Amino acid sequence: MNQQDLSIVALLLHASLVVQLVVAALLAVSLASWTVIFRKLIALKKVRALNGDFERDFWSGRNLQELHADATKQAETAGPLNRIFASGMREFLKLREQRTADPGAMLDGARRAMRASFQRELDTIESNLSFLASVGSVSPYVGLFGTVWGIMHAFTGLANLQQVTLATVAPGIAEALVATAIGLFAAIPAVLAYNRCARDIDRIAIQMETFIEEFSNILQRNAAPTARG
């Protein structure tokens, strides 16, 4: 193999079948990882925007009944905060219609409904995040496996040669090391994206939990007159 044949493509074409399969698998995983990364970043940006819009609307002083009506109509296209509010308000109104005497029971029911909705929303937001974690942790080892196999294959092929020089060893070693390089190529973006998305999701979760507490305080003030009446 001459100097012009030491390109990555040429090295892979001369590599053993196992190394080629490992590299193909890593490239497929890398493509899937980038797809998940872009979709997740776009989805999180949309969630932040929708939550921000709802919070501004909520604290603008609008009537809770009007907000609930709008939230129910827009449940499919609105953000997580919208659906959390709708679930809590729906449960609160249901208990109030049943003339529940204990305001604590009304508040607890609304809070449980919001916590359940919060968990569903968080599960949806975190979807595919474990895939990025798996790619980031496993890909380097898969690439290392391809490298070890390629080196074993290269030295096996050199066993019958009378004279072994660096020129005869280098191509086989280079072919094997390509697998490790591609493993890192798949892993590094996945790890960086996972850390970025995990940080953003933590902030969104804190925002939703804070809203649940603030809205619970509002519901508590609305429940007290019902109990006295």
As to burial, measured by CB atoms within 10 angstroms (0-12 exposed, 13-18 middle, 19+ buried), residue 122 is middle
- Tokens representing 192 are 């960086």
3-36 pLDDT tens trace: 445 566 666 676 678 888 888 999 999 999 999 9
Tens digit of pLDDT for each residue in 101-157?
677 888 888 999 999 999 999 999 999 899 999 999 999 999 998 888 878 777 776
- C-alpha to C-alpha distance for 176 and 195, rounded to whole angstroms: 30
For residue 20, what are the CA distances in angstroms to 4, 123, 138?
20, 37, 18
pTM of the shown model: 0.80
Residue type, 189: P
* Dihedral angle sign, alpha carbons of residues 82, 84, 90, 92: negative
Give the pLDDT score at 70: 86
Judge whether residue 69 has pLDDT over 80.
Answer: yes
Angle between helices 80-97 and 166-228 (to 10 degrees): 30
Residues 72-100: what's their mean pLDDT?
85
Rg (CA), the chain: 28
Mean pLDDT (the chain, rounded): 84
Structural contact between residues 67 and 86, judged by C-beta atoms closer than 8 angstroms: no
Split at pLDDT 50, 70, 90, the class of 161 is: low
Question: Which candidate, 190, 181, 192, 189, places its Cα nearest to that of 143?
Answer: 181
If 0-12 CB within 10 Å is exposed, 13-18 middle and 19+ buried, where does residue 134 land? middle
**pLDDT on residue 85:** 93
